[in-house]
C-alpha cells in the first residue's frame, strides 16, 4: 500500500518545505514499524511548485496507529503553514 500526499508549496517557502519534508517528515515515517520507503518528489513544470510524497506501508493496522500519533498530527499542522491544496490518498499496487 502507498500513502500518497501532494501539496502546493507556498511562494518563497520552497527551501523551508524541502528541509521540512526531508528532515522531519521522512525521518518520522521511517522511524515507524511497517514503513519501508519514503520518497519526496518535486514538480516544477507548472507555474506552481508542487511536492509529492510517497510512503510505502506494509501493515495497514499499524498505519492507522501512526496517523493517530501526536507527532504525526503536529507534522501535518506544520505542513499546512508551508503549503496549500494538501491532498492525500491511499493507493494499492495493482500490477
Evaluate whether residue 87 is within a structural domain.
yes
- pLDDT above 70 for 92: yes
Query: What pairs with residue 87 in β-bridges?
Result: 6
Evaluate whether residue 59 is within a structural domain.
no
Given this model, what pLDDT does residue 18 score?
95
Say how many domains are in the chain: 1
- Cβ–Cβ under 8 Å, residues 78 and 43: no
> What residue numbers bound the domain in which 6 lies?
2-54+67-91
Distance CA(52)–CA(62), nearest Å, equals 22
Overall size of the chain counted in residues: 95
pLDDT in tens, 23-80: 999 999 999 999 999 999 998 676 668 999 999 998 788 899 999 999 999 999 999 9
Q: How many beta carbons lie within 10 A of that of residue 8, not counting itself?
A: 17
The pTM score is 0.90
CATH classification of the domain holding 80: 3.30.70.100
Given this model, what pLDDT does residue 28 score?
98
Buried b (16+ CB within 10 A) or exposed e, 30-45: eebeebeebebeeeee
Given this model, what pLDDT does residue 47 score?
63
Amino acid at each position: 500500500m502507498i500513502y500518497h500526499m501532494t501539496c502546493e508549496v507556498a511562494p518563497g517557502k520552497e527551501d523551508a518545505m524541502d528541509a521540512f519534508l526531508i528532515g522531519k517528515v521522512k525521518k518520522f515515517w521511517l522511524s515507524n514499524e511497517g514503513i519501508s520507503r519514503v520518497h519526496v518528489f518535486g514538480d516544477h513544470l507548472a507555474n506552481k511548485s508542487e511536492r509529492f510524497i510517497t510512503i510505502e506501508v506494509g501493515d495497514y493496522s499499524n498505519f492507522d496507529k501512526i496517523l493517530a500519533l501526536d507527532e504525526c498530527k503536529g507534522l501535518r499542522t506544520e505542513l499546512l503553514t508551508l503549503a496549500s491544496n494538501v491532498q492525500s490518498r491511499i493507493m494499492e499496487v495493482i500490477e
